[in-house]
Amino acid sequence: MRTWKYISYACLSIPLAFLGLPLYVFIPKIYADLPGIGFGLAGIVIFCARLIDLITDPLMGFLGDRLRHIFHYFFWILIGCPMLIMGVYFLFNPPSDAGLGYLAFFLSLTYLGWTFVNVPYYAWGVELGKTEVQQRKIAAWREGAVLSGALVALIVVALSTTSPMLSLTITFSAILAFSISLIFFLPRASVSKNLINPKFRRIWINTSTTMRKLLRFHFFNALAAGIPATLFLIYITDVLGASEKQSGLLLLLYFVSGVIALPLWIKLANKIGEVVTWQLAIVVAVISFFPVIFIEEGQIWQFALVCIFTGATLGADIALPAALQARIAAKETRDFGFPREGASFGLWGLAGKLALACSVGLIFPILELFPSEENRAAALPWMYAFIPMLIKLGVFFGLHFSKMILTTIDKSRELKESDNETKNFVSHNTSIIIF
């Protein structure tokens, strides 16, 4: 694949990530502050709205695979875009009297539009990557664009002087439209209509043992990332006493570190493998989270160091599992004799989004147990850092005992490329940060 194809494909990750950061960081706080809602009810509604994905994500993957000979993945992306834009506009710009019904409806519409765009988009990446090196390159460009999208969202919010959420909505819609125009020119593989796909209820049954293991690791790893993401603004306000400007700078520092470190993780993965590299990133994250327990009010610079090192592991968290998953999905398609990319990414997206929903649905009701600001401030460091540390350690040991399975994914059909392409891959990694 030529470089322009990687860039064209990766660009759609920018608006998706552009939306993702505010959705998980700002939305809970926006609606929790509205009269009559609060942290507990906001968390429950966000969690319940995510339950829709239990059906929609696997179903979208199933339809994408089943009807691929008629409707390419691009077709479903086009359907999802209007739903996504409408849901985002009303969700991020609620009236002062918005209640739980308003939040539930437009959050569900946003999630549904996201499913229609995100699941086919990731499945398309498997279709484009014909070799192991290409799959890694696709994952690197895509996840590099994810980090860049988060940075752009932070910049838009920081620079907006009147209505940050409205500015966010308008910018998101413009970037989404531009990205769609780029992916329109990407190649679309032809699939025989004679291929027999199983029924929808067999999606999980037809999932390989290797994929099931990776899905579990992905869920808990996303849960460990979702808890501090959910608590970030609350933690730096109630514990550190940071200002709004300082909060934005800390978030920016976190994602800049992720963008800079991503090419290094990918380069390391090429030498020692995704699993070992992922484990190394987990160790760095656990060590980096530990000082949070002892950080006190006003120690902004100490927490900034935590943001740098935990942010540096973000690139590994999002790129390496995705690269593993893409290779497993491609292998399942070859082994089963029918398309599995859509179904695989449907389950993958479901695991990740359910983990993020659980982080809100569990943590926010717990916060309600601490009505006084003093008690809440004392509990927040443990919730922000200690719980994710324990979960990440569980993922680490799970990967250790499953390393043999995960590192021999494709040994039956070793996918090799020329030395020139491998060298080009390494050199192009550095260009990811330009997005």
pLDDT of residue 85: 92
Name every residue whose Cβ is closer than 8 Å to that of residue 360 and which is 6 or more positions away in sequence.
24, 28, 42, 43, 46, 47, 226, 230
- CA dihedral over 294, 360, 76, 87, signed as positive or negative: negative
Measured CA to CA, the distance from residue 390 to residue 117 in angstroms comes to 33
154/157 Cα distance (integer angstroms): 5
178-199 pLDDT tens trace: 999 888 888 776 555 545 455 5
Which helix (DSSP H) or strand (DSSP E) does residue 97 occupy?
none
What is d(CA 258, CA 253) in angstroms, rounded to the nearest whole number? 9
> Is pTM beyond 0.95 here?
no
Q: Give yes or no for a contact between 227 and 363, defined as CB atoms under 8 angstroms apart.
A: yes
Supply the pLDDT for residue 95.
85
In a 3-state reduction of DSSP, which class is residue 290?
A: helix
pLDDT at 391: 92
88-116 pLDDT, tens digit per residue, is 999 888 887 888 888 889 988 998 998 89
pLDDT digits (tens, 9 = 90+) for 423-432: 343 333 333 2
Task: Name the residue among 252, 313, 14 with its Cα closest to residue 146.
Answer: 14
Q: What is the pLDDT of residue 124?
A: 82
Report residue 145 as tokens: 């664009």
Going by pLDDT thresholds of 50, 70 and 90, the confidence category of residue 148 is confident
Q: What is the mean pLDDT of the chain?
A: 77
* Lowest-pLDDT choice from 212-216, 373-377, 403-407: 403-407
Distance CA 399, CA 406 (A): 8
* DSSP notation for 104-142: HHHHHHHHHHHHHHHHHHHHHHHHH--SHHHHHHHHHHH
> Where do we find the tokens 């090192």?
309
Return the pLDDT at 86. 93
169-173, 203-207, 346-350: which has the highest mean pLDDT? 169-173
In the predicted structure, residue 310 carries a pLDDT above the cut 80: yes
For residue 326, what pLDDT band results from cuts at 50, 70 and 90?
confident
User: What pLDDT is recorded for position 432?
Assistant: 28
DSSP designation for 161: S
385-421 residue pLDDT tens? 888 999 999 999 988 877 655 555 544 333 343 334 3
Query: 224, 391 in Cβ contact below 8 A?
Result: yes
Q: Among residues of the chain, what percentage have pLDDT more than 70?
A: 80
- The backbone torsions φ and ψ at residue 187, rounded to the nearest 5 degrees and listed phi first, read -65, 150
Mean pLDDT of 369-388: 80
The model's confidence at residue 53, banded by pLDDT at 50, 70 and 90, is confident
Q: How many residues does the chain have?
A: 435
CATH of domain 3-187+208-434: 1.20.1250.20
Which is nearest to 324 in space by CA: 212, 183, 187, 206? 212
Alpha carbons within 13 A on the beta-carbon side of 414 = 3
CA-to-CA distance for 345 and 123, rounded, in angstroms? Answer: 6
pLDDT digits (tens, 9 = 90+) for 155-182: 887 777 677 888 888 888 899 999 998 8
Which pLDDT score is estimated for 403?
64
Please give the Cα distance from 124 to 73 (Å, whole number): 6
